[in-house]
Amino acid sequence: MAFRPELANGNIAIEQLLYSNRVMSFYENLLGGPAMHYDYTWLRAVAPGRNTPPHYDIVFMGRGTKNICTAWVPLGDIPLELGGLMILEKSHLLTDVINTYGQLDIDEVCENNPGIAAINDKGYPGFGSYTFDPVALADQLNRRWLTNDYRAGDLLTFSMYTFHASADNVSRFIRLSTDSRYQLASEPADPRWVGPNPIGHGPEAKKGVIC
């Protein structure tokens, strides 16, 4: 197991946790105006031996405003061995990466090579990942991965252009957490993630380009 967004569908407890007045007020203060949240909630159930590779979020949700915040919320205590989120320090300042990898769209597919995502045609591995090797990435960019023991009630927030990943789950337990997104209500939202039945990365989201 790794990705279980269906567990968040219609889940009143999750909705109250992530989209209550308290959280929305926090993002209104942070963003400087009335805020909205995406209707799609990313829920992760990461089994022992699994992790999440390094990536920017913008490659998954960049068809509206780029001024979006991710909230990573642990569902319960997550000590280091359970594989919590890691942030690559100052990675939001990597102009070269922002102007290359950060401009890509995971749902663009090569019209001249059907079935291949344009992002992978550029040489990036996997489904939107920048690399599968966080240690090599930290060495390459001369930056540290930062993480911590997380506890129930914590909220870690960051921009679309922040490298993040999860540490390996080396415990015997499943790590539960959510990702949710927030932006100014006055700015355009990526249509893949809003509405009563967000299309996500389904067939309707695909856009053809020449690779």
Per-residue confidence (pLDDT) for residue 128, from 0 to 100: 94
Per-residue confidence (pLDDT) for residue 117, from 0 to 100: 87
Is residue 46 within 8 Å of residue 83, measured between CB atoms? yes
Distance CA(204)–CA(196), nearest Å, equals: 15
Per-residue confidence (pLDDT) for residue 113, from 0 to 100: 80
Per-residue confidence (pLDDT) for residue 27, from 0 to 100: 98
Per-residue confidence (pLDDT) for residue 74, from 0 to 100: 98
Per-residue confidence (pLDDT) for residue 116, from 0 to 100: 78
Give residue-wise pLDDT tens across range 13-22.
Answer: 999 999 999 9
- Domains of the chain by range and CATH? 5-186+202-209 (2.60.120.620)
Per-residue confidence (pLDDT) for residue 210, from 0 to 100: 87
CA dist list (Å): 182 to 60, 123, 135: 14, 30, 30
Residue ranges of the chain whose pLDDT lies below 50: none
Predicted TM-score of the model (pTM) = 0.94
Per-residue confidence (pLDDT) for residue 153, from 0 to 100: 95
Per-residue confidence (pLDDT) for residue 194, from 0 to 100: 97
Burial 52-86 (b: 16+ CB within 10 A, else e): bbbbbbbbbbbbbebebbbbbbbbeebeebbbbbb
Give residue-wise pLDDT tens across range 22-72.
Answer: 999 999 999 999 999 999 999 999 999 999 999 999 999 999 999 999 999
Per-residue confidence (pLDDT) for residue 111, from 0 to 100: 87
